[in-house]
Chain A
Amino acid sequence: MSAPPVLKVEHLTMRFGGLTAVSDLSFDAGERKITALIGPNGAGKTTLFNCITGFYKPTVGRLQLAHAGGETFLLERLQEFRIAKDARVARTFQNVRLFAGMTLLENLIVAQHNTLMAASGFTVFGLVGSPSYARAEAGAIEKARYWLDRVGLTDRADDPAGALPYGAQRRLELARAMCTDPVLLCLDEPAAGLNNRESEELNGFLRALRDEHGISILLIEHDMGVVMEISDHIVVLDYGIKIADGTPAQVRNDASVIAAYLGVTDEAAVTSDATPM
């Protein structure tokens, strides 16, 4: 990996009482790369996401995020809203979390809260209806319209988000995350519940985000079709421990990964401790 990593996870450990969900985990997520986190259920993937996005404070370890401009942030020290606002890490949720009663457009405008809040002079200029705020709002609508177009939901812009079918809700959540102008986009099982055609479209969309918009993506996914096809780099977790880390081809042939997913006989397990980097 030649480019400096956008996210460096170093010796991350997360304990809940006696349970160690993530144990001494270190890996790098490359800039403008799609990094996939895979592993069986309960491997600690979502816990790791919650650490990165500040919903949990890690017990031990360091999470360093670097912007292209050279600015760095230590995520474990930031409040969760600062991680989204300043470090510009956006996320989606395993169980979609939209503002169900608000329209699609409103969902995307809320995502631009911090930009608009500053433009409205923390409400003061906005209250008196200053033209600079009106311009900022028009810009926000344009951006929202762009992302609605990208996910194919422009027609439904004025419908409540809760009325969308499931696949469309997932796309909207992705569009909402993109409206925050993220540097790193963390997607928690974006293909869950999608049909084949929809997950094909998702693959294309994520590639476009990486290639056209220069977004680095960190992805939790169980759908191996998606993972193997679009990932540049795969990290495999099992019981909170990293068991493999490499390109899709390396991971696919890794004995310990196969063991974790399929189970092995006792003799095979002894020889499966080689993890290619």
Chain B
Amino acid sequence: MSDPSPAPREDEPAGARVDLLAALKEAVITAAVAFGLFALLIGVRTEQGPTGALIITTRFGPLAAFVATAFVGRFIFAMTRHRFTVPAKFLVPQAIRQAAAAFSPYLAGALLVFALVVPVVFYGNSYLLDLAIQIVTYIMLGFGLNIVVGLAGLLDLGYVAFYAVGAYSYALIAQDFGLSFWVCLPLAGILAAFAGLLLGFPVLRLRGDYLAIVTLGFGEIIRLVLLNWQNLTGGPNGISGIPRPSFFGLPFTASENGFAATFGLNYSPTHRFVFLYYIILALALLTNWVTLRLRRLPIGRAWEALREDEIACRALGINTTTTKLTAFALGAMFGGFAGAFFATRLSFISPESFSFTESALVLAIVVLGGMGSQLGVVLAATVMFSGFEFFRQFDQYRMLVFGAAMVAIILYRPRGLVSTRKASISLHRRREIPTDAVDRTQSLGPA
């Protein structure tokens, strides 16, 4: 292990004293910030008195405890900081890293096999099956958003809009025209793709923060339209009684012409869960296959080139308008498929399900997984939702743990769980390129 900045040793009194002073100063500043933060949050409390008037009570004890904790914590951290400067990779023993490296090429395959046998393994546990369906739905959404954000580099904060368009398209078409799930599914995807184009046109000239703000607005517009267009969408009441998918015309009911009776099985509601699971798994795998395929076609390379440098793209004769629009439309289409599935699974939808939180969650999956990485999306979605469910029992600490996990990832894996990019084509041998090994210090605008 070669650490370029060795920690000061005990036998250097001068250095140690300076360190002590600096650490004290840091701790004082931290304590001051903590005081500023907590003075009103914790130090002061208002309660309703017997006459209905508010009574201010002060809590100096807890406030002092918080400030003291911040002071001591920061002081200890500052004094022992050199122990934390060791890169994260040295914290993990060599043997484990080697084992992980040896296993990583098989990870995707292992996950696929696992995904296929989930309904068999957890057949009796409808809670876990439902969770698995939910995870795969978000994986599918993550794949879709990965095209827009991860490949084309267009930050989209309103992705849930396409999810909503897909869900409502399916619900309305299936109810009003009585078409089956398999006819409605592509229609929902196409309508969502049109919504993607609709969003794409006005934001063609925008990049970065500006694009993020407009897409955020677009997501809200769609939600508000759904909420207020009472006679089409039912407004806040949503749409209920959405037809559920059938197995080649056999409904999953206890009736005589149902799925169970036809195959001579005992009726069990689990059949439908298993069926739904395989539908969404197939959709997610299709999305994954298409995305991996597109990455190796000119359109996919143009998306990635667009993410790297839009001006160079135009100088090479790439039509950036169509390139951006196809990314928006295709990402939206997969979001629409997921939305249609969501509607048929719950058989009830309302605008509440399509809030900004959903967009943020899907974006978090893509970013945590590592932008552009399909495997990263799978890992991030699985870890995140498993974590959510696991910490459900400690409900009040759930968000605390979530926040701490985010901070840990920012510190140790700033480019996401999978921070390598596989070249789409190679002359000698294909290999993984760490996404942070690249110098991106380029100025903007044509000189």
Contacts and interface: CB of A to CB of B under 8 A. Distances in A.
Interface of A: 46, 50, 53-55, 80-85, 90-91, 93-103, 105-106, 109-111, 113-114, 116-117, 120, 123, 126-127, 133, 137, 141, 144-145, 148, 154, 157-160, 162-163, 176-177, 180, 188
B58 interface: no
Contacts of B290: 127
A81 B433 contact: no
Interface in B428-447: 428-431, 433, 435, 437-440, 442-443, 446-447
Contact of B309 (A85, A90, A97, A158): A97
B302 A126 contact: no
Interface string B25-39: 000000000000000
17 contacts: A80-B315, A84-B316, A97-B442, A98-B312, A99-B309, A101-B304, A101-B435, A105-B425, A106-B304, A110-B313, A113-B298, A113-B302, A127-B293, A158-B426, A159-B433, A180-B316, A188-B447
A91 B3 CA distance: 44
A80 B305 CA distance: 17
Q: DSSP class of B's interface residues: helix, strand, loop or mixed? A: loop
Interface stretch (B174-182, B317-325, B379-387): B317-325
A95 B315 contact: no
Nearest to B431: A158
B59 interface: no
Interface in B36-76: none
Contacts of A133: 297
A81 B319 CA distance: 6
B308 interface: yes
Interface residues of B, number: 43
Contact of A100 (B294, B302, B319, B442): B442
Interface of B: 290, 293-294, 297-299, 301-302, 304-305, 307-309, 311-320, 421, 423-431, 433, 435, 437-440, 442-443, 446-447
A100 B308 contact: yes
B372 to A, nearest CB: 9
Contact of A105 (B302, B317, B427, B435): B427
Contacts of A123: 294, 297-299
Nearest to A123: B299
Contacts of B308: 98-102
Contacts of A177: 316
B330 to A, nearest CB: 10
Nearest to A112: B298
A111 B429 CA distance: 21
B170 to A, nearest CB: 25
B316 A157 contact: no
Contacts of B309: 97-100
A46 B429 CA distance: 39
B447 A93 contact: yes
A120 B297 contact: yes
A102 B298 CA distance: 14
Given A81-B320, A106-B424, A91 B315 contact: yes
A50 B313 CA distance: 15
Contact of B317 (A50, A106, A109, A113): A113
Contacts of B430: 158
B428 A95 contact: no
Contacts of B421: 101
A117 B433 contact: no
Residue of B294, B297, B298, B431 with most chain A CB atoms under a 10 A cut-off: B298
Given A110-B305, A188-B447, A103 B426 contact: yes
A-B CB proximity, top 3 nearest = A84-B317, A85-B317, A162-B438
Contacts of B428: 157-158
B425 A141 contact: yes
Given A99-B308, A101-B421, A158-B427, A114 B317 contact: yes
Nearest to A128: B293
B424 A117 contact: no
A46 B311 CA distance: 15
A199 B290 CA distance: 45
B92 to A, nearest CB: 25
Given A101-B438, A127-B293, A109 B315 contact: no
Given A105-B425, A127-B290, 5 more contacts: A55-B311, A93-B315, A110-B305, A158-B428, A180-B317
Contact of A162 (B298, B317, B424, B439): B439
B296 to A, nearest CB: 8
Given A163-B438, A163-B439, A157 B301 contact: no
A114 B430 CA distance: 24
